[in-house]
Amino acid sequence: MSDEFEARYGDTMRRIRSGHSVAVTLDRVETAIRGRGLKFFGRHDHAAAAREYGLELPPTTVFVFGNPTLGTPSMLEVREYAIEAPPRGLVYEDDAGDVWIAWNTAEYLFGIVYPRHGLEMPRDVWAAFNDVVREACEEAAG
């Protein structure tokens, strides 16, 4: 992780370099997420949207995933939480042509987003979330 990235995001976001193209990395992320029993909700291709408006953006695609057994009870408790759920990750190509996978950590989701809505998540879930997402992204990047 670069010093600039670390300074900007601290422990709220992680990223790793992928050894594959954006398209292949996204397919691998989806497979790795599903393989861990999580729900893969979909992709949002920002570069494609930019092209529709005559703008250029290098490949930049958000992926949306989660565990409805965790998220749904939170949405039932505070419906407005749904505007920030499910969790997201990002696969993008930087200006040097390197492909990266980035994702929000439990420290962001459960330490910033949840408290914003008056919600709490047990600490053991934080660790499990971080582990499963990191493992899926490492598998996808390899």
Question: 130: Cβ–Cβ under 8 A, 6 or more apart, which residues?
Answer: 105, 106
End-to-end CA distance of the chain: 16
Place of tokens 């900007």: 8
Span 89-114, pLDDT tens digits? 999 999 999 999 999 999 999 999 99
How far is residue 77's CA from residue 4's CA, in Å, rounded to a whole number?
37
What's residue 2's pLDDT? 73
How far is residue 105's CA from residue 126's CA, in Å, rounded to a whole number?
8
Domains and CATH numbers, the chain: 3-141 (3.30.310.70)
Render each residue's pLDDT in the chain as its tens digit; 142 residues.
Answer: 678 999 999 999 999 999 999 999 999 999 999 999 999 999 999 999 999 999 999 999 999 999 999 999 999 999 999 999 999 999 999 999 999 999 999 999 999 999 999 999 999 999 999 999 999 999 999 9
Place of tokens 């459960």: 110
Taking the CA atoms of residue 35, residue 70, residue 121 and residue 40 in that order, the dihedral angle to the nearest 10 degrees is 40
What's residue 1's pLDDT? 60
How far is residue 24's CA from residue 45's CA, in Å, rounded to a whole number?
14
Mean pLDDT computed over every residue of the chain:
97
